[in-house]
Amino acid sequence: MHETRIALLKALARGEFYSGTELGEICGVSRTAIAKHIEGLKGLGIDVFSVKGKGYKLSSPLSLLDKDVISQYLVPPQDKTNLHLDLTILSQVNSTNTYLKEHLSQFNSGHVVIAESQSAGRGRHGRTWVSPFASSIYLSMYWRFDGGYQALSGLSLVIGLAVVDTLTEIGLPSAQLKWPNDVYIDMQKIAGVLIEVEGAVGDAVNCIIGIGLNVKLPSNIEGIEQSYTDIESHLGTPLVDRNKLAALLLNNMKRIIRKFESEGLATFVSRWEALNVFENKPVRLIMGDQSIEGVCLGIDNEGALRMQVNGSVQSFHGGEISVRAI
């Protein structure tokens, strides 16, 4: 994003009225230029309105991402050997997962990319993740797993637990999990996980762990094809601090990933099953053109979904499987 537009956003984020002249002085440009940048902000889906005699104002204040603020809430490494915050914050990006993959050689394991907005956010199976500006957390973390592909079974499941832990910490203890990568509140999706892996079989692998977490979605949002919700709808808080939220999420992700590396999925299974949104409910699995109906029983120690189908228990792994309530 243009530096002038960033300065303009930071001024307007306070939620107060500013005249075109005042904004021009803050940003070092003319009133005419401010008017053009205001139109640019509207193009990002940011609701800016103007009142004659008062100037410009956002419909509601924005919580903009700030690396220094995020660092204040992060738990430092236990050995205190590396207190550097491996974090990149972007105003706009096509996709945080894509950006990390394209720049992977520049980063160390543990590096995180967070964006204010995505022009081509991605969910599973090529679906679009709608990503309006400063409305959610769009985050991707790079992690190198020395154990290879076999060490990744169930990773999306434990990342879902990290999201649930984060929501619980901010006052939303009712989140549940949908196999294999979604987080729900009241049967509505509030977050999703997208895991992408690169590497050779039998060797260490580079893993990109993407999370989209809805914070405050615009009321007129379009393009979401399923029931959804966001944090502010449940908290009733007018402005969630996205910097603190991002830091809490990163703390929980790193804690859970390290435990997953050393102990595997088995240690998380019982907790995941306690949060299973479809526990003992009839479901339909869609695998390409194939459809299987049964009762959702939970997961096994490899992360496969266990279902009772026609009187017998069967396990189903990842791929093109989605779970739908009947």
The CATH code that applies to domain 3-58 is 1.10.10.10
Give me the pLDDT at residue 237, please.
Answer: 77
Measured distance CA(142)–CA(145) in Å, rounded: 10
Indicate where the chain has its CATH 2.30.30.100 domain(s). Answer: 278-325
- The whole-angstrom separation of Cα 153 and Cα 162 is 16
Residues with a known catalytic role: 124, 189, 324
DSSP 305: E
Residue 85: its pLDDT value, please?
Answer: 66
Location of each CATH 1.10.10.10 domain in the chain: 3-58
Mean pLDDT of each 10-residue bin along the chain, 326 residues long: 81 88 91 89 81 86 88 73 72 92 93 90 69 88 89 94 98 95 95 89 88 86 78 87 95 96 95 96 87 93 94 83 72
Q: Which residues pair with 115 in a beta bridge?
A: 90, 138
Q: What are the start and end residues of each CATH 3.30.930.10 domain in the chain?
A: 67-272
Cβ atoms of 57 and 51 within 8 Å: the answer is: yes
Specify the CATH class of 278-325 in words. mainly beta
pTM of the model: 0.88
Going by C-beta distance under 8 Å and a sequence separation of 6 or more, which residues neighbour residue 188? 227, 228, 229
Q: Where are the alpha helices (DSSP H) in the chain?
A: 3-12, 20-27, 31-43, 67-73, 96-102, 155-169, 231-235, 242-263, 269-274
User: What local confidence, expressed as pLDDT, does residue 79 receive?
Assistant: 47
> 67-272 has which fold?
BirA Bifunctional Protein; domain 2 (3.30.930)
Position of tokens 């990744």? 152
Q: Which of 184, 91, 189, 96 is closest to 140 using CA atoms?
A: 96
